[in-house]
Each structure stands twice: as structure tokens, then as C-alpha cells.
Amino acid sequence: PAQYPLAMTPNDPGWNDLSGIKGGPRMNATFVTLARNADVWEIAKSIRSVEDRFNRRYNYDWVFLNDKPFDDTFKKVTSSLVSGKTYYGEIPTEHWSFPPHIDQEKAKKVREDMRQRKIIYGDSVSYRHMCRFESGFFFRQPLMMNYDYYWRVEPSVEFHCDIHYDPFRFMHENKKKYSFVLSLYEYFETIPTLWDSVTKFMKNHPEHIAEGNSMAFLSDDGGKTYNKCHFWSNFEIGSLNWLRSKAYIDYFESLDQDGGFFYERWGDAPVHSIAAGLMLKKEEIHFFNDIAYYHVPFTHCPTGEQYRLDRKCHCNPKENFDWKGYSCTSRYYELNGLKKPEGWQDNSD
Ligand code: GDP
Ligand code: MN
């Protein structure tokens, strides 16, 4: 393992010393992507970006998951692009279908109603399976059981700055369990009763609620109502052991019983975020300011010109979402008593 502490800025010892990295100390961690065969060219772009900015120097593994078998093209293209080992898993039907307690007729009526109201993905069955899978099952697929940390990557995303240190190792050394780069308000029509379910869970399982948590990120009235803030889960670096803990599994099962993945359209982003916000200490959630990222339609571009130049960033700082009105990242800063970076006012709108 590297002898120096983790280099985070160009002034830290070891910033330019990559010798200990190539083939060097790696965490027990993997990238993970849920995708369809048709997503191959879009995930190819994401992989190139991850490799160019980070993984070519670390060679972490990459696990691909699909509800159908991956085809040869998907496997050939992705395995040629990833510098680490690649693994391909097929999701079992129980993790990608309606659980027996769901009333199919009721669920169908909801989809029809949401279609008429033009709610995004409101009429989709597969999107609901996807959200439920990402909420409760990806971390317990057999291929994921060997790892401690994951980094979720979706098709068509982009990373704009060099990452000069290992975010997995950062998570481990700093006892972080969950992380984000973008946060925003959820579309209320997709989660009208989610907070009722969460409230019920909190009553039934007070033992899982952490002291010193981030309730103030999620609620403006001490927990009575949800303010809809969530971390955007298309990017996540997190602890698999936390997701596999009794606390998280009890939480997921309680929500799943209430049926909102199908009777509404609960997303895995608010589901993960509320779990992290309530069941982790606030210090266990990390904002990766230095990981510049784009997923349509939002960009996280680090604030501060010198900061971006040092990392060879190619994002437009005007597009940074962090300090805009629809971002929840200011709340995270305030809750954690963090000082906003120099120049944050310049691109707040
Ligand atoms: P959005 O970001 O909310 O617009 O949703 P995406 O279309 O990006 O889907 C989220 C993730 O789930 C992506 O990694 C997709 O590749 C994956 N995904 C979505 N639907 C399906 C599906 O039906 N099957 C599989 N295997 N993956 C899916
Ligand atoms: Mn996406």
C-alpha cells in the first residue's frame, strides 16, 4: 500500500507520484452498470470517459447487469474498453418482476393514469422494475458479493476532470458510506406517499435511525414532511456492506411491502437518499466536488478556475448546477457546516 496519506490537492505529497498506483493498492471495489444490449454504444462512451479520467491508472473491475442475457457485441465492446476485469450477470426473475402482494389491476390503472398526465416514465413497467432493482437488489447479486465498494455508471454520462486519487480509497479511509455529485428536488407526482412509508418505517424501526443524521437535508420541519431533496443516483460511490446491512434491508423491505414502486413510481434516487439521510451519520455522506460529471440534463463542474485547470477539466463552469435554485447541494453544505468554495456566487443562476 502507498505510504503517503491520500493526495487530494497538488500541494499534498504524492500528488504526482503515480508509481504506487499502477498495479498498486486497490480497494476491494468495482464499477457497476445496469444496461440493456441496446445501450452498448452509450455505455461505451461512459466507459471511455471513466477510463481516460481515472481507471486507466487503477484498473478496477466492472460488473454489468441485465434482466436479459448480454449479447456478444456488448461483451466484446465493453471488455475491450475496460482496463480491469469485466463480469456479466443476468438478473433473476424475482428481482425484476411484480412481487406477489402487488395488485396488478391497480398497478395498471396507475400507469394509464400517469400516461394521461404525461408523467415521465409514468406508463413504463420496465422503468419500475429498474428502480426497484436499483433500490433493493443490485448490491446482492452474486457478482457483487465479492466487493466492499461500488461506483455506479450509466450510459451516456461524462467525466470532465482528471481524478488524481482513488475515490474508493478515500471512502474507506474517511469512513464514508455514500456519496454524490448532484442533488435536486424529486418530481412529487412520482412519490406522493413515499414519506408516509418512511415515517411508518421510522416508527417501526427506531433502532435503525442514526443519531446525528441528515434529516435536515430531507425535511424542513423536523421530519413531518419531505422536502423532495435527493442525491442523484445515476452517479454513486458507496459501501455495499451498508446496503447489505440489516438496517438497509429492513428499510427496503418495508417500502417494498407498501407497493409504491408499482402504485406510484418511486425512484431509486429518493429511496437511496432517504436511507442515507436517516440511517447514516451526516459525516458518512460525501460530496465529491472534484468529480466533474454530466448526466442529461445536469452538470457538476467544480467551482474555481485554478481548481479546474489543475485537473484539466473540460466542463463549462457556467453549466455547474450546484448553486442553482433547483439544486439541494447548498442545503448539504449548510447542514454540514461546510464553507462554499471561492467564487460560488459567480454561477449561481
Ligand atoms: P434515467 O436516467 O432515469 O432517464 O433512466 P435510464 O434510461 O438511464 O435508466 C437507468 C439505468 O437503468 C441505466 O443504466 C439503463 O441502462 C438501465 N435500464 C433502464 N431500463 C432498463 C431495462 O429495461 N433493462 C436493463 N437491463 N437496464 C435498464
Ligand atoms: Mn440515465
Could you tell me the distance, in angstroms and rounded to a whole number, from the CA of residue 330 to the centre of ligand 1?
28
The confidence score (pLDDT) of residue 307 equals: 87
- Burial (CB count within 10 angstroms: exposed 0-12, middle 13-18, buried 19+), residue 175: exposed
CB 279 within 8 A of CB 251: yes
Q: What is the distance between the alpha carbons of residues 154 and 131, in angstroms, rounded to a whole number?
A: 13
SS3 49: helix
Of the listed ranges 79-83, 162-166, 243-247, the one predicted with least confidence: 162-166
Angle at the Cα of 267 from the Cα atoms of 270 and 31, rounded to 5 degrees: 85
Could you tell me the distance, in angstroms and rounded to a whole number, from the CA of residue 161 to the centre of ligand 1?
25
344 has pLDDT over 90: no
Q: What is the pLDDT of residues 44-71, one digit of tens each?
A: 999 999 999 999 888 999 999 999 999 9
Q: What is the distance between the alpha carbons of residues 60 and 83, in angstroms, rounded to a whole number?
A: 7
Q: What is the distance between the alpha carbons of residues 92 and 94, in angstroms, rounded to a whole number?
A: 6
2 has pLDDT over 50: no
Please give the grid coordinates belonging to residue 181.
455529485
Residues annotated as catalytic (active site), given as ranges? 236
Any atom of ligand 1 within 6 Å of the Cβ of 130: yes
Any atom of ligand 1 within 6 Å of the Cβ of 154: yes
Could you tell me the distance, in angstroms and rounded to a whole number, from the CA of residue 281 to the centre of ligand 1?
30
In the structure, what pLDDT confidence band is assigned to residue 1 with cuts at 50, 70 and 90?
A: very low
Any atom of ligand 1 within 6 Å of the Cβ of 135: no
43 has pLDDT over 70: yes
Residue nearest to atom 28 of ligand 1 (CA): 35
Q: What is the pLDDT of residues 144-167, one digit of tens each?
A: 999 999 999 999 999 999 998 899
Angle at the Cα of 185 from the Cα atoms of 131 and 175, rounded to 5 degrees: 70
Any atom of ligand 1 within 6 Å of the Cβ of 299: no
What is the position in ligand 1's atom list of the atom closest to the CA of 39? 16
CB 135 within 8 A of CB 261: yes
The confidence score (pLDDT) of residue 185 equals: 98
Residue nearest to atom 5 of ligand 1 (CA): 127
What is the position in ligand 1's atom list of the atom closest to the CA of 91? 26
Q: What is the distance between the alpha carbons of residues 298 and 189, in angstroms, rounded to a whole number?
A: 21
For the chain, the residue count is 349
In the structure, what pLDDT confidence band is assigned to residue 14 with cuts at 50, 70 and 90?
A: low
Any atom of ligand 1 within 6 Å of the Cβ of 39: yes
Q: What is the pLDDT of residues 248-259, one digit of tens each?
A: 999 999 999 999
Residue 297: cis peptide before it, omega within 30 degrees of 0: yes
Could you tell me the distance, in angstroms and rounded to a whole number, from the CA of residue 67 to the centre of ligand 1?
11
Going across the sheet that includes 298-300, the strands are 158-159, 293-295, 298-300
Of the listed ranges 7-16, 95-104, 115-124, 303-312, the one predicted with least confidence: 7-16
Any atom of ligand 1 within 6 Å of the Cβ of 12: no
* Cα atoms in the 13 Å half-sphere on the side-chain side of 37: 9
